[in-house]
Chain A
Amino acid sequence: MAQLARTIKRRLLHGDAAWAYAFIAIALLVYAMFTAYPVVSAFMISFQEYKPLGSTYVGFENYVNSFGDSLFWKSIRNTIVYTLLTVPVSLLLSFAVAILILPFKKRLQTAFKAVYYLPAVASGVAMSVVWLWIYDPLPSGLMNRLLDVFGIGNQNWLGSSATAMFSLVLMAWLSSHGTSIIIYLAALLGIDNSYYEAADLDGASFFQKLWHVVVPFLRPTTLFLLVTGVIGSFQVFQNAYLMTGGGPDNATTMVGLLIFNNAFKYFEYGEAAAQSLVLALIIAVISYFQFRFLGKDVEY
């Protein structure tokens, strides 16, 4: 037994394993400091009335207050609506663009990938400013001018409950597909040509090849993009904060924005932490069901 322990100790300290642990330790340290610690800290704060110079323990009060707050539920509903409207359409658009780019030569593919990825590099704030200009509510606004061509009167895009959510959704549809396109394209290039050739021999049409060859092969990619897309969408904050501030009548108040307001506007860190953990739980449950029902045949 002692011999075994000595052998393990020797391997740990003198073999390559020691170096491996050393390098892992660094990553672990960074993870512990910048991910695990904030999460544990948020968990503890969620049971406190937090104050910089001394907090007090309040039990489940922050959770009870959140569940009793109609705005919290409204923000959850808004976030779900936003997610349902943006994620599937964004995936479909990314997939369609990737399919359209696929037949091109590599250099042209790269050019298109760069063009579509450009919005991801640009500052989100700058993008929002451009969209604010596009959604100018007066007749001189770009979107309103466009509608005017079709004889439709000008719209108060971000100022009306009827159009504010749609405006944010449209913004999501028309920007930031770069990452998904690149991932889809990589997956498409990974499909062996022999499958297409076999389908050709069977006389399959373009859509039949798409449905019976491409879609099944891309299922792991789609699942990955769907899960990350839903997580990202549930955490959406910037667009609502910069474009509408959550209005009008809280029609675009997303849960991320509500958490931000509670924490940094009202200094109610306890309630914000509680709501963050509830949001994390919701995301975890949705991700579980996504893997459960859509990831049956997918292996990672």
Chain B
Amino acid sequence: MAKQSRVFASALALTLSISALAGCSSGGGNNNGNASQSPSGSASAPASSVASAAKDTITALLPPVSATYQDNFEQMAKDFNALYPNLTLKIEPASWEDMTQKLDTQVNAGSPPDIAFIPSASVSKYVQQGVLMDITDAATPEMVGDFETAPLEYMKNGTGLYGFPAYMEIHALGGNKQFLEEAGIDWKSVQKNGWTYDEFREAIKKGVVKDGNKTTRYGFVFANAGVASKDYLGILVKNAGMPSAFTKDLKYAYTSKNYLEVLKDVRQLIDDGSMPKELSSIDAGKRWNMFLTGQTMITGKGLATFENSANKNNEKLKANDGSAVEGSIPVDYIVLPVPSFLGQPAVSSPAVDGYVTFRGKKEPTPEHKANVVKAAYFLASGKVAAMTNNELFVAHITKSGKEAAASMTVNRNPDNAAAVEVLLSHAAPARPDIPPELGAKAIKLEDEVIVPKFQALLANEIKPEEMYEAVKSAAIKEFGQDGVVTD
């Protein structure tokens, strides 16, 4: 009996060990092997010219880009397989919260997915790590020609192209039509012609409603906490002659005197009482709640899809649906531009997200590279792009997407659609010329100096001049006296 127990215990222990080891096994990989097993063409030949019918699997890590995006994964895989019978598109879904962590874990294990949906702003970070796959030679002229130039540029770094963009969305402001009109703001004119900081300041002052000493409605609330902590200042400075953190001659731009003036203006809007003094703690969810419940006339940042969210909430209110936001009122969402500062031209902030192509430890074969490009293009164009972008209320950036969307109906305010077109026309251009090392330094400076100091400025703990000096000295330390703008 004792012997049996020992044998049983040993078997259990062995099982435990094996299961522990099994967890460490490398079952991933980006399927380079599949393609390399097939008879390959010349290694030096451009991948686009390699005609291979060998079976291959392309993996993609995709978040819920739009509300129903992940519901369509099965259909997407089927459609792709119908188009390329030798290829399998294997999609791994991820939540927005998990996306970065999942991707980074796979990247650090040396086996990232072939394609991941990420912001173009992250391209330089992964280029620096050497884990992105340059598809310049694999993307056919037809594929490249299908995209608008401006968003495609965002997927470049240096001379390399690292994927295809899904959309180019403008970070704007959003207004409550009723409140704007009550405040006497000609929002249609603002949509067409923009506004200066002074005009904006006066407008949001008119939007403030008080009950005694208590403010019941602010003129303007912008999310500044959590993930939104970088947005506000980043969007404003683009309209103050600093469309990028670096000038064209690669000097750090935020040491310009204009930067200081924007900081002063930020403080001024709070001191006016047009914005809440607790602004530094208001996150994206809170300010959207404030907008829907009538506690602010204008909110930021405003995305095109917010119109859709507001419309849906309006429908719920009309239908007495209990899932409508508590205390909310019907809102007609109006897209508004960000004001311009110091006589500088308005430059809108685009957010370009897309299908970025990765490589693992092994050099991908030309066949596999060409197959990955096919999958990335399939996801970023045509029917998939049309459905996704329509759902997000964002403009189509591919000819094939526009064609596919022609037969689809979107319940969108035409004034807003026209306003977005205006904003897209003066969107900040991509800067693939900024070396990844320089970009990484700027991001770290933003995270460790600008964002913390800006929070302190919003909380009225430091003066604009103090923040400016802190940013300037950190920038000089990082980029050198000659590496920063002096004016």
Give A contacts to B, CB under 8 Å: 19, 22-23, 26, 29-30, 33, 51-54, 71, 135-139, 154, 156-162, 245-250, 253, 261, 264-267, 269
User: Is there contact, CB below 8 Å, between A267 and B125?
Assistant: yes
Inter-chain contacts of A71 with B (CB < 8 A): 448
Inter-chain contacts of A136 with B (CB < 8 A): 286
**B184: CB under 8 A from chain A?**
no
Query: Which residues from 354 to 375 on chain B have a C-beta closer than 8 Å to any C-beta of chain A?
Result: 361
User: Is there contact, CB below 8 Å, between B214 and A159?
Assistant: no
User: Is there contact, CB below 8 Å, between B281 and A265?
Assistant: no
In the docked arrangement, what's the CA distance between A222 and B226, Å? 37
Query: Which residues from 221 to 269 on chain B have a C-beta closer than 8 Å to any C-beta of chain A?
Result: 225-226, 229
User: Is there contact, CB below 8 Å, between B13 and A26?
Assistant: yes
Inter-chain contacts of A157 with B (CB < 8 A): 281
8 shortest interchain CB distances as A-B pairs: A159-B281, A248-B455, A137-B278, A159-B280, A249-B456, A137-B281, A247-B455, A156-B278
Inter-chain contacts of B453 with A (CB < 8 A): 249
Nearest CB to that of B290 among chain A residues? A138
Nearest CB to that of B107 among chain A residues? A52
Q: Is the interface of A mostly helix, strand, loop or mixed?
A: loop
Inter-chain contacts of A267 with B (CB < 8 A): 104, 125, 128-129
In the docked arrangement, what's the CA distance between A245 and B125, Å? 21
Q: How does the 8 Å CB contact mask read for B315-334 relative to A, with 1 for contact and 0 for none?
A: 00000000000000000000
Q: Out of B100, B129, B444, name the residue touching A52 (CB < 8 Å).
A: B129
User: Is there contact, CB below 8 Å, between B24 and A33?
Assistant: yes
Beyond A245-B229, A246-B452, 20 additional pairs, beta carbon < 8 A: A29-B20, A51-B129, A52-B108, A52-B131, A54-B130, A71-B448, A138-B282, A154-B278, A156-B277, A159-B225, A159-B280, A160-B459, A162-B461, A245-B226, A247-B456, A249-B453, A249-B455, A266-B440, A266-B444, A266-B447
User: Is there contact, CB below 8 Å, between A138 and B278?
Assistant: yes
Q: Closest CB of chain B to A23's CB: distance in Å?
A: 6
In the docked arrangement, what's the CA distance between A295 and B229, Å? 46
User: Is there contact, CB below 8 Å, between B459 and A248?
Assistant: yes
Inter-chain contacts of A250 with B (CB < 8 A): 448, 452
Q: Out of A154, A249, A264, name the residue touching B101 (CB < 8 Å).
A: A264
Nearest CB to that of B279 among chain A residues? A159
User: Is there contact, CB below 8 Å, between B130 and A161?
Assistant: no
> How many residues does chain B have at the interface if contact means C-beta atoms less than 8 Å apart?
47
User: Is there contact, CB below 8 Å, between B20 and A33?
Assistant: yes
In the docked arrangement, what's the CA distance between A205 and B450, Å? 58
In the docked arrangement, what's the CA distance between A275 and B16, Å? 34
User: Is there contact, CB below 8 Å, between A52 and B24?
Assistant: no
User: Is there contact, CB below 8 Å, between B17 and A26?
Assistant: yes
Q: Closest CB of chain B to A126's CB: distance in Å?
A: 13
In the docked arrangement, what's the CA distance between A33 and B13, Å? 16
- Interface core residue of B108, B276, B455 (most chain A CB under 10 Å): B455
Query: Which residues from 438 to 460 on chain B have a C-beta closer than 8 Å to any C-beta of chain A?
Result: 440, 443-444, 447-448, 451-453, 455-456, 458-459
Inter-chain contacts of A154 with B (CB < 8 A): 278
Q: How does the 8 Å CB contact mask read for B17-58 relative to A, with 1 for contact and 0 for none?
A: 100100010000000000000000000000000000000000
In the docked arrangement, what's the CA distance between A52 and B452, Å? 30
**B210: CB under 8 A from chain A?**
no
User: Contacts A52-B130, A249-B455 hold; do A156 and B13 have CB atoms under 8 A apart?
Assistant: no
Q: Is the interface of B mostly helix, strand, loop or mixed?
A: helix
User: Contacts A138-B278, A247-B452 hold; do A266 and B443 have CB atoms under 8 A apart?
Assistant: yes
**B10: CB under 8 A from chain A?**
yes
**B160: CB under 8 A from chain A?**
no
Q: Closest CB of chain A to B472's CB: distance in Å?
A: 16
Inter-chain contacts of B104 with A (CB < 8 A): 264, 267
In the docked arrangement, what's the CA distance between A19 and B301, Å? 65
- Interface core residue of A135, A139, A160 (most chain B CB under 10 Å): A160
Inter-chain contacts of A158 with B (CB < 8 A): 225, 281
- Interface core residue of B16, B276, B278, B443 (most chain A CB under 10 Å): B278
Q: How does the 8 Å CB contact mask read for B287-312 relative to A, with 1 for contact and 0 for none?
A: 00000000000000000000000000
Inter-chain contacts of B214 with A (CB < 8 A): 139
Q: Closest CB of chain A to B469's CB: distance in Å?
A: 14
Nearest CB to that of A125 among chain B residues? B97
17 contacts between A and B (CB under 8 A): A52-B109, A52-B130, A138-B282, A154-B278, A156-B277, A159-B225, A159-B278, A159-B281, A160-B459, A161-B459, A161-B461, A245-B229, A249-B455, A249-B456, A266-B440, A266-B443, A267-B129
Nearest CB to that of A154 among chain B residues? B278
User: Is there contact, CB below 8 Å, between A156 and B447?
Assistant: no
User: Is there contact, CB below 8 Å, between A19 and B6?
Assistant: yes
Q: Out of A53, A156, A160, name the residue touching B131 (CB < 8 Å).
A: A53
In the docked arrangement, what's the CA distance between A54 and B359, Å? 14
Q: Out of A22, A26, A53, A269, name the residue touching B16 (CB < 8 Å).
A: A26
**B462: CB under 8 A from chain A?**
yes
User: Is there contact, CB below 8 Å, between B229 and A247?
Assistant: yes
Inter-chain contacts of B20 with A (CB < 8 A): 29-30, 33
User: Is there contact, CB below 8 Å, between A247 and B13?
Assistant: no
Inter-chain contacts of A247 with B (CB < 8 A): 229, 280, 451-452, 455-456
Q: Closest CB of chain A to B227's CB: distance in Å?
A: 9
Inter-chain contacts of A137 with B (CB < 8 A): 276, 278, 281-282
User: Is there contact, CB below 8 Å, between A159 and B458?
Assistant: yes
In the docked arrangement, what's the CA distance between A283 and B321, Å? 55
User: Is there contact, CB below 8 Å, between B456 and A248?
Assistant: yes
Q: Closest CB of chain A to B218's CB: distance in Å?
A: 10
- Interface core residue of A53, A157, A246, A261 (most chain B CB under 10 Å): A53
**B110: CB under 8 A from chain A?**
yes
Query: Which residues from 99 to 134 on chain B have a C-beta closer than 8 Å to any C-beta of chain A?
Result: 100-101, 104, 107-110, 125, 128-131
User: Is there contact, CB below 8 Å, between A156 and B459?
Assistant: yes
Q: Closest CB of chain A to B464's CB: distance in Å?
A: 14
In the docked arrangement, what's the CA distance between A23 and B455, Å? 55
Inter-chain contacts of B9 with A (CB < 8 A): 23
User: Contacts A33-B24, A159-B459 hold; do A138 and B444 have CB atoms under 8 A apart?
Assistant: no
Q: Closest CB of chain A to B104's CB: distance in Å?
A: 6
User: Is there contact, CB below 8 Å, between A156 and B6?
Assistant: no
In the docked arrangement, what's the CA distance between A158 and B229, Å? 13
Inter-chain contacts of B13 with A (CB < 8 A): 22-23, 26
In the docked arrangement, what's the CA distance between A62 and B3, Å? 55
In the docked arrangement, what's the CA distance between A245 and B6, Å? 52
Q: Closest CB of chain A to B8's CB: distance in Å?
A: 12
